[in-house]
Structure 1
Amino acid sequence: MVKSLALAAMVASAAAFAPAPFMGTRLAAVKAASSAVTMSVKEMPGVSAPLGFFDPLGFASKASPETITKYRESELRHGRTAMLAVLGWAFTEAGCHLPVFPNAGTNPLAAAGQVPFWGWAQIFAFCGVIEFVQAKIRERPGFQAGDYIGSGDLMDEGDDQWKSFQTKELNNGRLAMLASIGLIGQTAIFGQNILEQSTGKATLF
């Protein structure tokens, strides 16, 4: 009897120090239990001053939770792509190129036309791989919009700092989307990159 109790105590002690199961496996159960509680669209990350909740055409107000999730994921993906695009644009204007393109120009629009066919084929193939991987990740139970690395499994959605971080990412992405449009438009109109235009050499005609 004493040996049985001792064995049970040892097993219980070992179980107490055993690693917890991966949060991703528990997240679905937790969210399923709280699925009735849906965060109001006006309380989602990204609602910030000075505009606050900006939905003048009422798209978000009339959409279902599933559609809102698609909207948010699209916004995050476009914002992240735009941030990388602005960074790549700056590197191109600074003359930083891959070794395989040593003679590429510093005008990003012109440099894009200098990429050979197989270069574009590799770019599209790489984008296809990313799309495939992301599609598989979206099938994960408890997937949250834009969370491709599982960071949401480690964060408390009620944490103000985590919500603030998400809002900052969204706002930076929104700014980058506007910036990328401005960079493309201004370069296309003046025919010179932004650094050249900043020196006063650019002319409209």
Structure 2
Amino acid sequence: MLSLTVAAVAFNAPAMRAPVRSSAVRMAAPEINGWTYDSSKFVGGLPGAISPLGQFDPLGFTKDKTMSEVKRFREAEIMHCRVAMLAVVGYLVGEAVAPLVGSGSFLAPTTITGPANTHLGQQNLFAFTLLTIVIGVGELYRALVGWVPPTESAFTIRENYYPGDIGWDPLGLKPTSPAEFKSMQERELSNGRLAMFAVAGFCAQEIVNGKGIVENLVA
């Protein structure tokens, strides 16, 4: 949402006349990681209009959107990108490791077999509960960092929050230069968008023939 404020500005008036109040004034959008929202630019000027598709939005989802709405769309995209990239690794590693788990295994005591689509349902109650707690804590932290409390404003991103930047960078990989940050953001989006298609393909392939992705690759 564009940052708007109503300022009561009094000025020196002639004697015997009441002070005059000004109308609403527009405040500049904050600069975050080198980015400043610009309603005249595609998706407010956020990185992501990457060749060869460039400004690809044929259905106009991002047209005439406020800063908060644009950031909300990007927040959803970047989170799905990250989950998809982890899922790609999970499909391949999970299916490769599955034959090594089971009774007596130091990796995991629960026996996991078959394609990755079925792995979550084969987890024991403890593992499933632990996974649920970890996801819940992560999502709660992200909500507290990036979102305005729903009691104040529903579905609103904080003005000083950059989509996806929750401040978790244990290896210190985040660039300090705005240009380098933009480049890293575009690489992350490119890989994440590809990963979303890849995971959809993995899932569909396993539904079609009931075989794991690794099994399909080595067959």
Q: TM-score, normalised by structure 2?
A: 0.67
2-structure distance, mates of 1:124, 1:57: 35
Asked if 1:189 is matched to 2:190, the reply is: no
The Cα of 1:95 is off from its aligned counterpart by: 1.6
Unpaired segments ≥5 residues, structure 1? 1-31, 201-205
Q: Which runs of structure 1 show a deviation greater than 4 angstroms over 4 or more consecutive aligned residues?
A: none
Among candidates 29, 37, 53, match of residue 35 of structure 1: 29
Unpaired segments ≥5 residues, structure 2? 1-25, 31-35, 148-157
Q: Is the 8 A contact 1:78 1:177 kept in 2?
A: yes
1-structure distance, mates of 2:215, 2:75: 36
The Cα of 1:102 is off from its aligned counterpart by: 5.2
2-structure distance, mates of 1:44, 1:122: 36
User: Aligned residue pairs: how many?
Assistant: 167
Deviations 1:94-135 (A, max 9, x none): 125682345212521232221123322221111110011112
The residue matched to 2:184 in structure 1 has which SS?
A: helix
2-structure distance, mates of 1:177, 1:33: 37
Larger RCO of the pair (alpha carbons < 8 Å, separation 6+): 1
Asked if 1:155 is matched to 2:176, the reply is: yes
Asked if 1:128 is matched to 2:127, the reply is: no
Amino acid at match of 2:117: L
Range that drifts further, 136-145 or 84-93 = 136-145
The residue matched to 1:94 in structure 2 has which SS?
A: helix
The residue matched to 1:60 in structure 2 has which SS?
A: coil
Range that drifts further, 115-124 or 128-137 = 115-124
Q: 1:135 to 1:171 in 2, by over 3 A?
A: same
The Cα of 1:66 is off from its aligned counterpart by: 0.9
Name the structure 2 match of 1:28.
none
The Cα of 1:33 is off from its aligned counterpart by: 6.9
The Cα of 1:181 is off from its aligned counterpart by: 0.6
The residue matched to 1:148 in structure 2 has which SS?
A: coil
The Cα of 1:143 is off from its aligned counterpart by: 1.6
Identity %: 30
1-structure distance, mates of 2:136, 2:122: 22
The Cα of 1:150 is off from its aligned counterpart by: 6.5
2-structure distance, mates of 1:112, 1:38: 40
Among candidates 68, 81, 95, match of residue 83 of structure 2: 81
Name the structure 2 match of 1:166.
185
Q: 1:46 to 1:141 in 2, by over 3 A?
A: closer
